[in-house]
A and B are shown apart, each in its own frame.
Chain A
Amino acid sequence: MRDLSTKAGDATLTSTQVENESRSPLIALIGPPNSGKTTLFNRLTGLRQKVANYPGVTVEKYVGQVQCDSERNVELVDLPGVHGFSARTLDEQVTRDVLEGQVEDLPAPDAVVLIVDCTRLESQLMLVEPVLKLEIPTLLVLNMWDELEERGGSLNELELADLLGVEVVKTNARVGLGVEGVKEFLSQVEVRESGVPLPEHVLSNVPRGVPLPMIDAFTARRRHLDKVVDRASFVSPGPAESTNALDSVFLHRTWGPLVFLAVVVVVFQSIFTWAVPLMDGVDLLITTSGEWLASRLSDGWFRSLVIDGVWAGVGSVIIFLPQILILFLFLGILEDSGYMARAAVIADRVMYRVGLQGRAFLPLLSGYACAIPAILAARTVEDERDRLATIFITPFMTCSARLPVYALLIAAFIPEGRLLGPFLGYRAAVLLGLYGLGIAAAVVTAFLLKRTLLRAQPGSFVMDLPSYRLPSARSIGLRLLDRSKIFLRRAGSIIFAVTIVLWVLTQFPRTDAGPPPIEDSALGRIGQTIEPAIEPLGFDWRIGVGLVTSLAAREVIVGTLGTIYGVEDATDDSITLQETLRRDLTLPAAIGLLVFFAFALQCMSTVAVMRRETGGWKWPILQFSYMLFLAYSGAFIAVQIF
């Protein structure tokens, strides 16, 4: 290794002599939030962890293999971004624990790659001093070198390396420039002698609650860095012109909120308009393949299972793939461009009134994709009570699994028509209303929680606003691909399994003429047992069965109804799911069902993650009951009103 400081170098020299054959070296990737750690990690390992242009994307450790050359493998661990090591949030705690070797099944790292955004070098280098205290080989990666040069900044990186006493590599992780240099460093890391533990709790020695030494420590560190950066002839890059120009629109007093609204309206409208041709295509594919298959199979129970059960059930869910992809396309653009952090700034006042941290807005926004990563992302929220309140209201954010249910019912019951000229149709408006309903429930719930169970002072709010970046077609494309895979895998597993079980239940008890009329089948009986409970809402037993199966995952209700009607109307292939729904549900009941889905926590995975993240059953049970209560009473009221 070239030119390591004595501090870091000593540790290397002693450990190189002690070969530990049993494991490959572990290298920790650390740095401030949004400095490009995961981008670099993905480059080196070939994995596809989530990258987005706002701070706090990674909230858990991820280990990946890096093939340095033909015979050498090292392990790289990607970590949540930190500004320091006082671990005020749970994600920062993860980083500190990994660095200190406090994690089971993971040895203390043998080396560190510290990656910083070199366009704002002074503040990002604050991590150098504590990291060097670990006394393990360290590589400093000056990432975003492209932006530094583009904006007219410069730096003598060799001088910087000398002054800090670490190896330095400059990179553009986004396109992979300079990544070879990182690989070279990785390839030389050796497993540390197991007998030499890290200086214990070296990172946690910042005394908390003792303010003066803390400020002094920071100021002293900073003064030193200012000198270092100065001697390495760092020319700070000018402000990014594009960021300035875009912010003057997106954060404008009137234009900002208007643009925000316009973006939302466009998203919802396109979910209905753009998706139509694509959905017709998918529909055609499913029907023709079903017909082809039906013609191949001889009449009998197997054909009924495949066509009326599985094809009708799974097919009725898959058809919503285009709408989900459109939603993710927009979410991807918002996340990668840097707009998300601005949206959080615009929403901060509302959050403040409610009693939540502005920080909590980002996890909540990611809840529109799926509540599970959003609940994990709430780890970035500082106060424990604020974090609990955030994850408690996350399932009210309309996740993408609700979309098929909404889209099906809206298409069946809401006429097409224009509300605001060409911009907003009735259907999109109703969809928008449902999202709004979720937000309203979240706001009210948080307001109540913060004044009862989870009382706390509003904390301070500091939000880093990243530079705007052009989302790359490749990264968005890969996201959509991954999303399609997840969606299809769910259709092929949970929904597939549920449709088979349901089909079997429709076949018994056998009558002389074959399968019973569906009302008399086992499924019909089960449904009719549930029916009294949901009768006040105007739902019949079929919906009741759907509500039960949708506990596994929300969109399963669509597959369930597909199967029930598939079996029931096996003789009539021309009738669509929408038509049968119109036959069996009144408009008020359909609205009631929409409201029910807006509120109810029908997702066992969410409950499981809640349990893990809150460390017990108390919160998930409370949350489930509360949301069920809201859903039931909300649907009841809706049925009365309409």
Chain B
Amino acid sequence: MGLDTPKSMLGSRNEEPGGELRLGDIPLSQTVELVRIDLPSEGAEPLLERGVLPGCQICPVRSSPTGDPIVSVDGSLLALRRETADCLCVRLLSDAS
């Protein structure tokens, strides 16, 4: 969805409250697909450059001692803040297929 309708990619934060999955809600070791990044472009660019793009697969591999997610994307390990993870809309892979 995100890929075909790019306008929604940077939509305001609470476009569809409740109905969406955020990366922060995903249990460990469950791979999901990134749908949209709800961040202003300055915040999103570091993610985009590292391959965190709509359509990519993300898997939370562990959480840090402070409860922030550490995710694996294309073989890179990235540490994010909870606040950032909550801005990443994702969907389960089984839904897609």
Give the B-binding residues of A (Cβ under 8 A).
83-84, 86, 88, 119-120, 122-123, 126, 208-212, 214-216, 218-219, 222, 236-237, 239, 243-244, 247-248, 251-254, 256-257, 341, 344-346, 348-349, 352, 358, 382, 459-465
A346 partner, pick from B49, B54, B64, B75, beta carbons under 8 A? B64
> How near does chain B come to A345, taking the closest CB pair, in angstroms?
5
Interface residues of B in 28-51 (CB under 8 A from A): 37, 39-51
How many residues of chain B have a CB within 8 Å of chain A? 44
User: How far, in angstroms, from A218 to B41 measured CA to CA in the complex?
Assistant: 12
Known contacts A84-B45, A460-B43, A465-B77; A256 and B65 CB within 8 A of each other:
yes
Q: For B73, give its contact among A123, A209, A243, A254 (CB under 8 Å).
A: A123
Given contacts A210-B41, A214-B45, A257-B65, contact A123 B76 (CB under 8 A): yes
Give CA–CA (A364, B47) in the complex, Å: 23
Other-chain residue from B50, B53, B61 in contact with A219 (beta carbon distance below 8 A): B53
Does B10 sit within 8 A of A, measured CB to CB? yes
- A212–B40 CA distance with the chains assembled, in angstroms: 10
The 7 tightest CB contacts between A and B, nearest first, are A123-B51, A83-B49, A211-B41, A120-B75, A465-B77, A349-B66, A463-B79
Determine the distance from Cα of A345 to Cα of B79 in the docked complex, in whole angstroms.
7
Evaluate whether A212 and B6 lie within 8 angstroms (CB atoms) in the complex, with A83-B46, A346-B66 already known: yes
Residues of A within 8 A of B39 (CB): 460
A207 and chain B: residue at smallest CB distance: B41
Q: A122 — which chain B residues lie within 8 A by C-beta?
A: 51, 74-75
A251 touches B74 (CB 8 A): no
- B13 contacts A by Cβ under 8 Å: no
Q: Is the beta-carbon distance between A461 and B65 smaller than 8 angstroms?
A: no
Q: Which residues of A contact B45 (CB under 8 A)?
A: 84, 86, 88, 214
- Given A119-B75, A120-B76, A218-B48, A212-B68 contact (CB < 8 Å): no
Q: Cβ of B92 < 8 Å from any Cβ of A?
A: no
Q: How far is the CA of A51 from the CA of B83 in the complex (A)?
A: 32
The reply to whether A83 and B75 form a contact with Cβ atoms under 8 Å apart is: no
11 A-B interface contacts by CB (under 8 A): A83-B50, A86-B45, A88-B42, A120-B76, A211-B10, A214-B48, A215-B6, A215-B48, A222-B53, A256-B64, A460-B47
- Determine the distance from Cα of A490 to Cα of B78 in the docked complex, in whole angstroms: 40
| Bound CA span A176–B49, Å | 29
Complex Cα spacing A358 to B64, Å: 13
Q: Are A212 and B84 neighbours in the complex by a CB distance under 8 Å?
A: no
Do the beta carbons of A464 and B48 come within 8 Å of each other?
A: no
Counting CB contacts under 8 A, is B70 at the interface? Answer: yes
A239/B47 contact (C-beta < 8 A), A460-B39, A463-B79 known? no
Asked whether B66 lies within 8 Å of A216 as measured between CB atoms, the reply is no
Contact indicator A215/B54 (Cβ below 8 Å)? yes
Task: Check A348 against B53 for contact (C-beta < 8 Å).
Answer: no
Whether A462 lies near B47 (C-beta < 8 A) is yes
Do B46 and A462 touch across chains, with their CB atoms under 8 A apart?
yes
CB neighbours of B83 from chain A (8 A): 460
B54 touches A461 (CB 8 A): no
Q: In the bound complex, what is the Cα–Cα distance between A236 and B49 (angstroms)?
A: 19
Taking the closest CB of chain A, its distance from the CB of B89, in whole angstroms, is 13
User: A460 CA to B40 CA in the complex, in Å?
Assistant: 10
Given contacts A219-B3, A244-B61, A346-B66, 16 further A-B pairs with CB under 8 A are A86-B45, A88-B45, A120-B76, A122-B75, A123-B74, A211-B44, A215-B9, A218-B53, A219-B55, A256-B65, A345-B70, A345-B79, A346-B64, A348-B66, A349-B68, A462-B80
* Complex CA distance for A382 and B44, rounded to whole angstroms: 13
The answer to whether residues A462 and B50 also contact, given A212-B7, A352-B81 and a CB cut-off of 8 A, is: yes
Closest chain A residue to B47, Cβ basis: A462
| Contact status of A463 and B64, CB under 8 A, knowing A84-B45, A214-B41 | no
Contacts of A358 in B (CB 8 A): 79, 81
Give Cα distance in the complex from A54 to B54, angstroms. 27
Q: Are A348 and B75 in contact (CB under 8 A)?
A: no
Contact A236 B66 (CB under 8 A): no
> From residue B27, how far is it (CB to closest CB) to chain A in Å?
16
From residue A552, how far is it (CB to closest CB) to chain B in Å?
40
Say yes or no: A464-B76 contact (C-beta < 8 A), given A212-B9, A216-B6, A345-B68. Answer: yes
Contact check, A120 vs B6: say whether CB atoms are below 8 A apart: no
Interfacial chain B residues near A254, Cβ < 8 Å: 65
Residues of the A chain whose Cβ atoms lie less than 8 Å from the Cβ of B80: 460-462
Asked if residues B6 and A209 are in contact (CB atoms below 8 Å), the reply is no
Most buried by A among B10, B39, B50, B78: B50
Measured CA separation A119–B76 after assembly (Å)? 9
Q: How far is the CA of A219 from the CA of B68 in the complex (A)?
A: 26
Task: Give min CB distance, A334 to chain B, whole Å.
Answer: 17
